[in-house]
A and B are shown apart, each in its own frame.
Chain A
Amino acid sequence: MTDHAYNFAYLDEETKRMIRRAILKAIAVPGYQVPFASREMPMPYGWGTGGVQVTAACLTPGDVLKVIDQGADDTTNAVSIRRFFQRTAGVATTEATTEATLIQTRHRIPETPLTADQILVYQVPIPEPLRFLEPRETETRKMHALEEYGLMHVKLYEDIARHGEIATSYAYPVKVGDRYVMDPSPIPKFDNPKLSDSPAIQLFGAGRESRIYALPPHTRVVSLDFDDHPFTPSKADHACDLCGAAESYLDEVITDDLGSRMFVCSDTDFCRTRREAGQVGRLGGTLEGEAA
């Protein structure tokens, strides 16, 4: 049911127009962070307000919305955001990646390849990839303007000198269309290759930091690396214990206090779809939890 005390998708039309204009500029300059007049939302800053504002500005009554957090549809914040749009926009929702027309995500890109009919909206905590190297916005803005990314390369190279490899496992920086260095949001670097040449539109919203950026479809996105230390996406060296998938990103679940553990797909829809199709992992199809 739509809550009629608020406009469709909560935001007023003037705010939506402002966000829509920012989204279009973000599309026009892929990877560049467009400042926008982020609004206070009825959920806290840092909990997806940027993604929620972008979703609200994009949503149409005919959309089918999917919301995931950590790859899962039933994590509490995903539930909370999905409910918010059910209540304020009355849109249909789904947990099936293939059925969704708009997917809001925190920290993952779905395993199932996206299509041209889908938009993926990322929640972004710190949109500036250079922020932890230079805390000042006035400085990082100059670096982007001058395409001066030496500091980032120095940081990555120091990692190699100290650890033998680049010690960044998530929010791994990328270069977009050979111009802007971009933070892909805190997705595991395993997901980075999915950013590039995607048929879907990818939009990034950072509410507290008031920034929107975008990857149009079929945009070249390269994870930063060095010739002698090429980028490698990585995941736990296991197959999913429930569905047997060997190529999906896995959560490690500690099952007792003696060190026993199991590995399961972080993408809950992907895992369920495989199990429904008869795929079985090491621990078989123990689905009691979901029946509970």
Chain B
Amino acid sequence: MIAATLGGGFADPASQSARAFRQVLQALARPGRIERLEGVAPPAPLSVAAGAVALVLVDGTVPVHLAGALDCAAVRDWMAFHCGARFVAAEEASFAFGTAEALRPLNRFAIGSAEYPDRAATLVIEVPHLRCEGALLRGPGIDGTARLSLPMPAYLAANAALFPLGFDSLLTCGAALAGLPRSTRVEGF
């Protein structure tokens, strides 16, 4: 129990989090591209990729929401120990972790304001599979079109319609990570 909480972080935080950030950056800047994050061992049911995202981006200044099965003692303790995370309700979260089902309804999450669209949540959505197939994506970061297996594509398409407002999503599955910023238009689902 204690070992599970204390372990599983970055052994060399400065360089590992730098490398992992670059992968998160590439994933979000190039929707449809899948990165593999490694070197992290978070407690189940948090995926390796979602755990790495937390280590790279979350700290005591960032309100976090854990949804559904992720809202358990093991994940809470791990994130609190490694990130100093503060846990809050969905409406107040800058980062939210959970499956698509657990995160719904999505209109609970911050989408920013007209003057400050950056004050929007980032959803880290745990998905059962992650492949370059399925919904058709267009927009910044994409050379023409791309495809990505999306959970609840209709909701993500509706989020994109709010641009420049809207939340941003990172999709995680095991070590795999893909990004879906609000700027990506989702079609063909």
Contact = CB atoms under 8 A, between A and B. Distances in A.
Given A180-B164, A217-B29, A20 B117 contact: no
B59 A179 contact: no
B13 A35 contact: no
Contact of A219 (B62, B114, B120, B140): B140
Contacts, number: 117
A39 interface: no
Residue of B58, B62, B141 contacting most chain A CB atoms (<10 Å) = B141
Contacts of A219: 140-141
B15 A29 contact: no
A125 interface: no
B182 interface: yes
A141 B30 CA distance: 28
Interface string A180-207: 1000000000000000000101000000
Interface string B14-25: 110111011011
A26 B63 CA distance: 19
B61 A18 contact: yes
B13 A13 contact: yes
A214 to B, nearest CB: 8
B123 to A, nearest CB: 12
Nearest to B58: A17
Residue of A58, A60, A146, A199 contacting most chain B CB atoms (<10 Å) = A60
B183 interface: yes
A108 B82 CA distance: 41
Contacts of B116: 35
A14 interface: yes
B59 A14 contact: yes
A24 B122 contact: yes
A146 B114 contact: yes
Given A60-B19, A219-B140, A17 B115 contact: no
Contacts of A35: 116, 118
Given A18-B61, A28-B168, A219-B141, A58 B25 contact: yes
A201 B115 CA distance: 25
B142 interface: yes
A179 B22 CA distance: 26
B143 to A, nearest CB: 5
A120 interface: no
A34 interface: yes
Residue of B58, B113, B164, B168 contacting most chain A CB atoms (<10 Å) = B164
A240 interface: no
Interface in B129-185: 139-143, 163-164, 168, 181-183
B15 A25 contact: no
A270 to B, nearest CB: 25
A249 interface: no
B29 A201 contact: yes
A20 B140 CA distance: 19
Given A20-B57, A27-B28, A179-B163, A218 B115 contact: no
B50 interface: no
A269 B94 CA distance: 43
A25 B118 contact: yes
Contacts of B22: 58, 60
B56 interface: yes
A214 B122 CA distance: 17
Interface of B: 13-15, 17-19, 21-22, 24-26, 28-30, 56-59, 61-62, 94, 113-118, 120, 122, 139-143, 163-164, 168, 181-183
Which 3 A-B residue pairings sit nearest by Cβ, starting from the closest? Answer: A28-B181, A145-B114, A216-B141
Given A20-B56, A217-B30, 12 more contacts: A13-B17, A16-B17, A24-B25, A24-B122, A24-B168, A25-B118, A26-B118, A27-B141, A28-B168, A35-B118, A142-B115, A218-B141
8 contacts: A16-B21, A17-B57, A26-B118, A28-B181, A28-B183, A29-B118, A57-B21, A217-B29
